[in-house]
Homo-oligomer: A and B are copies of this chain.
């Protein structure tokens, strides 16, 4: 977000004496000696890292830099014993610690009984899965940053863990990179009940939408920019189609609601249908458009979810989350609204989350409950009520408003307002319907009927308005 706020000038004449008169060092010593009472001379934790790329390198760097502090904090030295890479002869962009062996052979780590923690940052879901399962079988703790693996195999991994009582498993970096959302879900809400979570959980698309909104770029220009900056993959389908966000939403749903949903069942609309026009209309309405993953408890029995572009009002904390930044908002009984904003990817944010897992394991913190047990017996449903934004492209004709009214009335879609920018082409114009709160299915049916009409050009685009009181607020 904000890159730097204020810079400060050291003026020694105004130095406080507090730091000499107050017992700050004593307090530090206090706790470390306290820790030492129970953790004196604990054995070194020896790490085997699978993957020596962006994230792996970041992890090694942080461990090297902070080794004295980690020893103080956990009682254990933390040592990178071996790193397994595809090509051991390749030059690394980090210093390999002295004594650390770089290998190409998985078993050099897996069969080494002196290595008691495995860090999997190689990616993929085949070899990575083998490595994780074998490491757990050998009683090694495992830390991973592998979203694809977690999204695909978390239930199976948890089952495996049951058979490996000596091993622990952590995956903070797998969702939203540097945002500690896994730990937050596990540690901030045991006494709470989550009603809803919504999030900007894909950095590439949020970068593109920001560029379209603030920079006035077209979809293609925004995608080119995202590619040039390394935010988009060579094949950007997973990002722009919303599928990456859906994988993360599925993991978060498991943590928030204890429900395990087949990804394919979650309705998913990406950003490919959005045009500059939609941002013009969003501005007219006072807000912007974000790709949001939403999951919500419908009642004590059911949870609904979707990934879709959404209209977001300007006073929503998600509206000022720009660029490749991620954000997750949790609505719950006790805490009401909690929002976590941070970097969703990148070398050091992701490595930092792995480090937090490594330190927690070295400290001996107990396995967190994997998810809220409230999920037992819950079911997933795929429809919801919302205020909707519906954009129709048209060729000018007589009777459009009447026909819109008839179709909406037929499907019980109550219209709040109709927005029309100045028309520059009679054969390629567009207008927007904003509905009252209506069921998604009714909007789908109305859209399908619109598309049958002669004056309607191409598919009708619709998206939820992310605040159900928005129509009311606008009507005042």
Q: Does A178 interact with chain B (Cβ within 8 Å)?
A: yes
Residue of B nearest to A350 (CB): B334
Q: Does A304 interact with chain B (Cβ within 8 Å)?
A: yes
Q: A62 to B334, Cβ gap below 8 A? A: yes
Q: How many monomers of this protein are in the complex?
A: 2
**A14-B382, A155-B22, A337-B343 known; A356-B4 Cβ under 8 A:** no
Q: A315 to B320, Cβ gap below 8 A? A: yes
- Could you say which of A3, A338, A356, A439 has the most chain B C-beta atoms within 10 Å of its C-beta? A338
Q: Does A466 interact with chain B (Cβ within 8 Å)?
A: yes
Q: Does A351 interact with chain B (Cβ within 8 Å)?
A: yes
Q: A384 to B34, Cβ gap below 8 A? A: no
Question: Distance in Å from the Cβ of A399 to the closest Cβ of chain B?
Answer: 32
Q: A178 to B384, Cβ gap below 8 A? A: no
Q: A10 to B317, Cβ gap below 8 A? A: no
The residue that A360 contacts in the complex, of B35, B63, B187, B317, with Cβ under 8 A, is B187
Q: Which residues of B contact A317 (CB under 8 A)?
A: 1-2, 317, 320-321, 341
Which stretch of A277-285, A363-371, A453-461 is in the interface?
A363-371
Residue of B nearest to A464 (CB): B6
Q: Does A220 interact with chain B (Cβ within 8 Å)?
A: no
Q: A341 to B341, Cβ gap below 8 A? A: yes
Residue of B nearest to A75 (CB): B366
Q: Which residues of B contact A313 (CB under 8 A)?
A: 2
Q: Does A123 interact with chain B (Cβ within 8 Å)?
A: no
Q: B338 to A341, Cβ gap below 8 A? A: yes
Q: Which residues of B contact A385 (CB under 8 A)?
A: 6-9
Which stretch of A98-106, A143-151, A373-381, A409-417 is in the interface?
A373-381
Q: Does A325 interact with chain B (Cβ within 8 Å)?
A: yes
Bound-complex Cα distance A439 to B339 (A)? 34
Bound-complex Cα distance A329 to B316 (A)? 17
Bound-complex Cα distance A70 to B190 (A)? 8
Q: B179 to A338, Cβ gap below 8 A? A: yes
Q: B28 to A370, Cβ gap below 8 A? A: yes
Q: Which residues of B contact A30 (CB under 8 A)?
A: 158-159, 161-162, 370
The residue that A190 contacts in the complex, of B196, B296, B355, B382, with Cβ under 8 A, is B355
Bound-complex Cα distance A66 to B192 (A)? 9
Contact with B along A301-319 (1 / 0, CB 8 A): 1101000000001111101
Bound-complex Cα distance A36 to B5 (A)? 48
Q: Does A43 interact with chain B (Cβ within 8 Å)?
A: no
Contact with B along A36-65 (1 / 0, CB 8 A): 010100000000000000000010001101
Contact sample, A vs B, 7 pairs, CB 8 Å cutoff? A2-B313, A14-B383, A18-B260, A22-B155, A30-B159, A191-B351, A335-B342
Given contacts A65-B191, A335-B342, A363-B365, list 5 more A-B pairs with CB under 8 A.
A8-B296, A9-B383, A19-B261, A26-B155, A70-B190
